Amino acid sequence: MTTFRVNGRDHDLDIDPDTPLLWVLRDELRLTGTKFGCGIAQCGACTVMLDGMPRRSCVTPISMVEGSEIVTIEAIEGPEADAVRAAWTAIDVPQCGWCQSGQIMSATALLQAIPKPTDGDINDAMAGNVCRCATYVRIRQAIHDAAKTLEG
Amino acid sequence: MKHVMWAVATAVFCAAPVWAQDGLSGPDAFAGIADEQARSVALFEEMGKVLTHPRCLNCHPVTGGPTQGDDMHPHSPPVVRGEADFGAAGMNCNVCHGTANMQLTSGSGSIPGHEPWSLAPVSMGWQGASLADICTQIKDPERNGGKSLEDLHEHNAHDGLVGWGWEPGEGRTPAPGSQELFGALTRAWIDTGAACPS
Ligand code: FES
Ligand code: FES
């Protein structure tokens, strides 16, 4: 049995301890906002918040989340997440959208750590989130925009 | 009778001192070097097989982020060292590296993990350094995190992250020998004066 909390709800699942969290989120809990891109920690599409920190769910065995609190794109909230969401929609950052829940998780985590990130901070924090539609320019813009709204 | 002989042979074999394991010799292999200083240097050179193995070097870079693989290519995805030797704000090591190695479900290989997991500080970086320089550096409390030689032995013989080098998960070549042997070499090197190669 693995006991953990996802988006404020407790779960008790009898599941192979090696099962990746991403599989559990999508196949068991039907939270399909978190995407599978590579399964090998190379793309960032599967990023969720694990105990308040970003985490690639494709390389997180379910045994590792025992007693943890997980937040996915379906429920992320707070000043930084709200600012990111507003900035993202204001300039229509997504193209196909596949990578975007991961992008939003990483951008939120960055703003939580550095409220006014430089281009360099953005490069470093977002380097693990790949976008095959190459929306990088808008992602950068939206992070700067979100930082500005957080200032006020 | 044959059985007894086999049993005796097996017992003798198992009780014998460990001379070598997978490319790393034990301290006994150096007992024949009469000069203590020369013996100490030889022991350190043997330790050097571990210290300069990719499993150790990859996380002991000299400046920037870690490298990967036996060919020590840059880490993918690209990562930076960060202020705490733990990656960038918003993308620290724990974004991917967990508390233990994890077998990949998609494809072969594994993501390495251990608790704790981080880069060695810059002062302990020795990618590309000579064994002589690594030796001086490793003994220098200014650069080794304030460790005495005894602390260094403890670190080499028992630290969990050092030990990871011998259990690196599928798809990675382990460091030569074992942590036990590396600890024994460190002990013998210290006991012979912790001399450095010139
Ligand atoms: S699916 Fe997890 S990093 Fe690509
Ligand atoms: S928007 Fe299509 S992959 Fe990023």
The distance of A91 to chain B (nearest Cα, Å) reads: 23
Q: How would you class A10 by CB atoms within 10 Å of its CB: exposed for 0-12, middle for 13-18, buried for 19 or more?
A: exposed
Using the Cβ of B33 and the Cβ atoms of chain A, whether some distance falls under 8 Å is answered with no
Predicted pLDDT at B126: 94
Q: How far apart are CA A28 and CA A32, in angstroms?
A: 10
What's the whole-model pTM score? 0.91
Q: Residue B112 has which token pair?
A: 């390495």
Per residue in B46-77, pLDDT (tens digit) is 999 999 999 999 999 998 899 999 999 999 99
Pairing verdict, β B100-103 and B110-114: antiparallel
Does the distance separating the beta carbons of B95 and A39 come in below 8 Å?
no
Q: How far apart are CA A145 and CA A126, in angstroms?
A: 16
Secondary structure (DSSP) of chain A: -EEEEETTEEEEE---TTSBHHHIIIIIS--TTSPPS-SSSSS-TTEEEETTEEEEGGG-BGGGGTT-EEE-TTT--SHHHHHHHHHHHHTT--SS-TTHHHHHHHHHHHHHH-SS--HHHHHHHHTT---TT--HHHHHHHHHHHHHHHH-
The set of residues, in sequence order, having a beta carbon less than 8 Å from that of B93 and lying 6+ positions away, is B79, B86, B87, B117, B118, B119
Does the distance separating the beta carbons of A109 and B104 come in below 8 Å?
no
Q: How far apart are CA A128 and CA A138, in angstroms?
A: 17
Instruction: State in Å: Cα A56 to ligand 1 middle.
Output: 6
Q: What is the ipTM of this complex?
A: 0.95
Q: How far apart are CA B195 and CA A39, in angstroms?
A: 47
Q: How far apart are CA A79 and CA A46, in angstroms?
A: 22
Residues in chain A with CB shorter than 8 Å from the CB of B73 are none
Predicted pLDDT at B12: 40
The distance of A121 to chain B (nearest Cα, Å) reads: 8
Question: In chain A, what are the domains?
Answer: 2-71 (3.10.20.30), 79-150 (1.10.150.120)
Per residue in B73-88, pLDDT (tens digit) is 999 999 999 989 999 9
Pocket of ligand 2 (CB under 6 A): A 94-100, 131-133, 135
Residue type, B119: L
Ligand having the closest approach to the CA of A43: 1
Of B135, B157, B134, the C-alpha closest to B37 is B135
What is the residue whose two structure tokens read 């943890």? A68
Secondary structure (DSSP) of B6-45: HHHHHHHHHHS---EETTEE-GGGGTT--SHHHHHHHHHH
Higher per-residue pLDDT: B170 or B17: B170
Q: pLDDT tens string for chain A (152 positions)? A: 999 999 999 999 999 999 999 999 999 999 999 999 999 999 999 999 999 999 999 999 999 999 999 999 999 999 999 999 999 999 999 999 999 999 999 999 999 999 999 999 999 999 999 999 999 999 999 999 999 999 97
Does the distance separating the beta carbons of A59 and B102 come in below 8 Å?
yes
Pairing verdict, β A2-6 and A69-71: parallel
